[in-house]
Amino acid sequence: MSDRDVRERCRALIDTLEIPVPFDLDEFRLGLERRRGRSIYMIPITTVPGAPCGMWVRTAGSDYVFYEQGTSPLHRRHIIMHEIGHMLFGHQARSDPDADVPETLLPDLDPELVRSMLGRTVYDSMQELEAETFADLVSVIIDMPSSRNPDAARGAQPEQTDIVSRIEQTVGEHRRR
C-alpha cells in the first residue's frame, strides 16, 4: 500500500468521526465509546527511556489507551490519537518474542500480569504508518482554523490562504460535526 493509499484510507476513516469544535478530548472519547459500544479509558503513565510512549490494549469489554504523561500537551494528544488510530483501524498485534513491552511500558506493574494482558505484542510497520498518519491528519484538522470555520481564512494574507489551501488539499476536506 502506498503512502497516498494510507492517507486516503485515513481520510475516509476521519470523515466518519465526530470531532468536536472546539476540540475536547473527553467529548471525542465519549463519541468513540458510543460508536464502538464499549468503554474507553485514557490512562497516563510514566515510561522509561526507549519504551513506547503509548499503547492501546483491548480487553473483552473495554479499550485502554496508555500515554506518556511527562510530555507536552500536543505530544500527549498525538500519542493518544496514534493509539486511537490503531483502535479504529482494528489493528491486530503480532507476536514478538524479543519485545520487553511489559517491563518498559509499565514498569510499576507485575510483568507477568501485563504480559498476560498484552500477549507480548508489537504492530507491523504498515499498521504503525496508518496510526501515525491518522494522528497527523486528525491533529491538522483539530488545529487548522479554516477546518473549523471556512470564513476564518478569508481575512488571512494571500500567502497564508495559499498555505491553508495546500494543507486542506493534503489532508482532504473534513466535514465538522
Which residue, among 146, 133, 150, has the nearest Cα to 78 in the 3D structure?
Answer: 133
Q: What angle do CA 3, 4, 6 make, to 5 degrees?
A: 65
Return d(Cα 85, Cα 131) in angstroms, integer.
5
Return d(Cα 55, Cα 28) in angstroms, integer.
18
Return d(Cα 69, Cα 55) in angstroms, integer.
13
What residue ranges in 48-137 does DSSP mark as E strands? Answer: 54-58, 62-68, 94-95, 121-122
Instruction: Provide the whole-model pTM.
Output: 0.71
pLDDT digits (tens, 9 = 90+) for 104-156: 555 665 555 555 444 434 556 899 999 999 999 999 999 985 554 444 444 55
Question: If you average pLDDT over residues 73-80, what whole number do you get?
Answer: 96
Report the mean per-residue pLDDT for the chain.
79
Return d(Cα 64, Cα 33) in angstroms, integer.
12
- Residue 64, pLDDT score: 94
pLDDT of 86 strictly over 90? yes
Question: If you average pLDDT over residues 43-69, what whole number do you get?
Answer: 91
More confident residue, 3 or 120: 3
Return d(Cα 56, Cα 5) in angstroms, integer.
24
Question: If you average pLDDT over residues 25-41, what whole number do you get?
Answer: 97
- Residue 66, pLDDT score: 94
The C-alpha cell at 137 is 491528519
- Residue 119, pLDDT score: 41
- Residue 49, pLDDT score: 84
Return d(Cα 103, Cα 100) in angstroms, integer.
6
Which residue, among 31, 1, 29, 11, has the nearest Cα to 133 in the 3D structure?
Answer: 11
From the CB of residue 56, how many other CB atoms can be counted at a distance below 10 Å? Answer: 22
Name the amino acid, one letter, at 19. Answer: I
- Residue 56, pLDDT score: 92
